Amino acid sequence: MLRLQRMTHALLRPSARVWHATQLDRWRAIPRPHDDPIVDVPGDDADRVLLIGDGAACGYGVVSHHLALAGALARRLAHATGRGARVEVVTHPRLFVGELKIELERLELRGMDAIVVTTGIGDACRLTSIRSWQHDVRGAVDAVVAHARRDTPVLWLGIPSVRAIPVFRGVSARIIEHHAALLNRQTRMLLDDHPRAQFVPFEPDPHRDGERHRSAATFSRWADLVTPSLHRALDEQVEGPVAK
């Protein structure tokens, strides 16, 4: 059955990529942040977090990163740790998993205390092959291992449901949901025993924000799903053999 599904997705892949490209053109009209991609919450011994990827990190529906996932994550994390928090965002709608390694290699990662990866929606829409996904996930994690401190954890968020996004309906939504589940399964298996990286399920309630694509309240709920894992990873880092 799995082999048949992969063959079906391979046949659909060229048309899926064309369809996804047309949707990206439509999404340009949706508000998203274009301000400074850094959110600071003042406090002692601030944790520096890199939020990188497409999808949830883009902030569709709000016009500032302070209102998007970065801002909500910084505030939730600071509240949880009692320290300051600084979340730096690297995102654009075409930041697919294949580009992550290149982006990570050009960034200064040694100053980061944690890295949160949110990619996958675009790859699910484009029906990226399982083999390519595996290769590129390994490449991205290897880039962190090579360029970040040896105590910097990577939290790879699962691909969320597309059911709350208006452009995804009917048969296309079911195909994308199924492919996203396949990609999530591969990521979990790849990272299960990795000493630095972990797969974090990301399954927000797929309700819609009226006519908006997303609201600040939605991003706050999403941050609530990520903060516990991020808090634990940072605490383990402080308590481990290598101090911050």
The CA-CA-CA angle for residues 209, 213, 217, to 5°, reads 50
Q: What is the mean pLDDT of residues 125-137?
A: 92
62: in domain: yes
Question: In this predicted model, which residue has the larger pLDDT, 237 or 92?
Answer: 92
Q: What is the mean pLDDT of residues 11-40?
A: 71
* CATH number of the domain encompassing residue 192: 3.40.50.1110
Q: Output the pLDDT for position 30.
A: 81
Q: Output the pLDDT for position 208.
A: 58
244: in domain: no
Let me know if 239 is exposed, middle or buried by CB neighbors in 10 A (0-12, 13-18, 19+).
exposed
Q: What is the mean pLDDT of residues 29-33?
A: 85
pLDDT band at 242 (very low <50, low <70, confident <90, very high): very low
pLDDT at 92 over 90: no
pLDDT at 21 over 90: no
Q: What is the mean pLDDT of residues 33-59?
A: 95
Q: What percent of the chain has pLDDT over 70?
A: 79
Question: In this predicted model, which residue has the larger pLDDT, 244 or 48?
Answer: 48
126: in domain: yes
Question: In this predicted model, which residue has the larger pLDDT, 201 or 9?
Answer: 201
Do the strands 47-53 and 114-117 form a parallel or antiparallel pair, or are they unpaired?
parallel
| HEC letters along 93-120 | CCCCHHHHHHHHHHCCCCCCCEEEECCC
pLDDT at 84 over 90: yes
pLDDT at 213 over 70: no
Q: What is the mean pLDDT of the chain?
A: 85
Q: What is the mean pLDDT of residues 25-54?
A: 90
Rounded Cα gap, residues 64 and 55, in angstroms = 15
Q: Residue 133 to residues 33, 192, 209: CA-CA distances in angstroms?
A: 28, 16, 31
168: in domain: yes
| HEC letters along 175-225 | HHHHHHHHHHHHHHHHHCCCCCEEEECCCCCCCCECCECCCHHHHHHHHHH
Instruction: Say what the pTM is.
Output: 0.86
57: in domain: yes
Full residue range of the structural domain in which residue 14 is found: 2-204+211-239
Per the structure, how many domains does the chain have?
1
pLDDT at 4 over 50: no
For 177-192, b/e burial (b = at least 16 CB within 10 A) is: eebbebbbebbeebbe
Q: Output the pLDDT for position 122.
A: 86
Q: Output the pLDDT for position 15.
A: 57
Q: 164-204: per-residue pLDDT in tens?
A: 565 555 557 788 888 999 999 999 999 999 999 999 999 98
Q: Output the pLDDT for position 176.
A: 85
pLDDT band at 5 (very low <50, low <70, confident <90, very high): low
Q: Which of 14-23, 64-73, 128-137, 176-185 has the lowest mean pLDDT?
A: 14-23
